[in-house]
Amino acid sequence: MCKLNHPIFKCEAFMKLTVDQRNQFAIRNKLCLNCLSDQHFIKFCNSKSICKECGCRHNTLLHRNGNTVHRNLPNAVSNQELNPNAGEFLSNVSPQDNIGHSFSCIDKTNKCTVLPTIKVWVLNHFNGSFLQARGILDSGSGQDLMTADFANRLGLPQEKINFAVSGLGGKETKVKSRLRATIQNGSGSYRTSLDFLVVPKITDFLPIVTYNLGNATIPDNLADPQFATPGKIDIVIGAQSFFDIIKNDQIRSPNSGLVFRNTVFGYVASGAVNSTTSVQYCGFISQVQSIDDCLRKFWEVETINEPAKMLSEEEQFCEHHYKTTHKRDETGRYIVQIPVKDIEKLGESKSMAIKRLDQLWKRLSRDEAMKNLYQDFMQEYLDLDHMEKVNDVKSASPLCYYLPHHGVFRPEKTTTKLRVVFNASSPTTSGSSLNDHLLKGLVKEDIFEIMTRFRKHKFAFTTDIQKMYRQIHIVLAQRDLLRIIWKDREDADPTEFRLKTVTYGTTSAPFLAIRTTKQLALVESSRFPLASDVTQQDA
């Protein structure tokens, strides 16, 4: 600037400039806005210095008081020759973008429409009493609706559905559940059950203003004594029940535009009333968005975070149970215990298993190919020592469960034509099944976490562990919970067997198999460090 040989920040002529002039000089001469060097732009600056006034990444000599430079940026950099460094200037001199808007309006509507609201009593699932709801009768609604807030208060079971409710302008609201509720009037003389779609919100408070009824003639038996006072709407009763609720007689108020129509809940008000009330709407919108925040959010999306997963009480119990009960035999095979709860409540299941076996053989006798595959499957199970014959049936443990089994036969398949299914969800005489008394444990992480980790690798492949579940033995004391009944011929006597390994179809099988795989990788980490890391993190 003054042609003397000294750094720009020591130049007296530069120091005499205003802050705006310094910024324009730095941009015009393509100086780094952080260290004021002419050798690079700010994005390549290695200096760790920051502004002593605001802590942002620009030189203190370029700091504007109040940090409000961004309001005038378009004028400050409008000169075409300032563009080469405009990006650095914008991103560092003005790190924040503060936007504030306020608005207000007054609605001076002279007429207000009164909609027919009612007070309804709805059966409460928790204690059998009735909760009062405020509803609206709508003959133009094809469905009965209930807000999620009121539905949660009722505690009624909700059925999951995938439904869409369309309103004005075709705008759709997604509905994910519905429930069946019993409603009645105050005296109990009218009672019915309706299917309600559960929605987040029905409408704003109705009415939007308090009506001045003046000298209006109002009957005594009102369905909603507070119809003129703004209040929350909990339910909508639609066209399906509308005309069952409405009665014939009505009363016209001579001093107003109100019409009172009799219903099973009492008189409902409708019509139009004069209103001199002005409704004032005020609002304020504030947005504070900095470039630093935008960049941070970008990296949060792109960064794969792997925080420690918070386990539920059941998952913690299963983890502790596995650690304290699993063992490894002399061949290296793992032996595990099934995590159970209230297992003594199991009932008798043998008769059902025999019945299912007879039904199975009726099918096998009609299909020679399926029968041969089924016999081969059972023989292989026995040959591989994955099950054992029960020689002394009478010495069985008092806690026994017989797994019914059936086959899924698909002859068009090129690989597995027959898949034998063990049904651990078959109920016993007590009404509960084996799966009802097994704990699930922690199986896998969220699919999103798995897929994001998958993206980290340049190459990836998938593989399968042959008979993965059946590589793991179940402790001897629990094998009576895995009994099956089989016979080689339709006319043969049934024979009892015990399955000796983790069995697919049981609730705890995935946890036991995956947890044992992780345990094997942990134990063998010193011998196979690379394989251990991959198995524990990505398998």
Quick: pLDDT tens for 472-502: 999 999 999 999 999 999 999 999 999 999 9
Written as six digits, the tokens of 10 are: 């020591």
Q: How many of the other CB atoms lie within 10 Å of CB of 530?
A: 8
Domains of the chain: 8-62 (no CATH), 102-285 (2.40.70.10), 314-538 (3.10.10.10)
Which residues touch 267 (CB under 8 Å, ≥6 apart)?
219, 221, 222, 223, 251, 260, 261
76-85, 262-271, 362-371, 474-483: segment of lowest average pLDDT? 76-85
Residue count of the chain, please give it. Answer: 539
- Average pLDDT over the chain, rounded to an integer: 82
Residue 190 bridge partners (DSSP): none
Higher pLDDT, 271 or 234: 234
Assign residue 477 a region (left: φ > 0; alpha: ψ between -120 and 50; beta: otherwise).
alpha
| Overall average pLDDT of the 197-210 stretch | 85
Higher pLDDT, 437 or 399: 437
d(CA 482, CA 392): 16
| Overall average pLDDT of the 92-100 stretch | 46
Residue 132 bridge partners (DSSP): 121
Quick: pLDDT tens for 21-41: 888 888 888 888 888 888 787
Q: Are 325 and 337 in contact (CB under 8 A)?
A: yes
d(CA 33, CA 96): 17
> Quick one: pLDDT at residue 416?
87
Model confidence band, residue 295 (pLDDT cutoffs 50, 70, 90):
confident
d(CA 272, CA 173): 29
Could you say which DSSP state residue 512 is in? H
d(CA 379, CA 290): 70
> Quick one: pLDDT at residue 73?
34
| Overall average pLDDT of the 243-267 stretch | 88
The tokens 């009218």 sit on which residue? 190
> Quick one: pLDDT at residue 68?
38
Model confidence band, residue 80 (pLDDT cutoffs 50, 70, 90):
very low
Q: Are 228 and 298 in contact (CB under 8 A)?
A: no
pLDDT > 70 in the chain, percent: 83
| Overall average pLDDT of the 169-188 stretch | 86
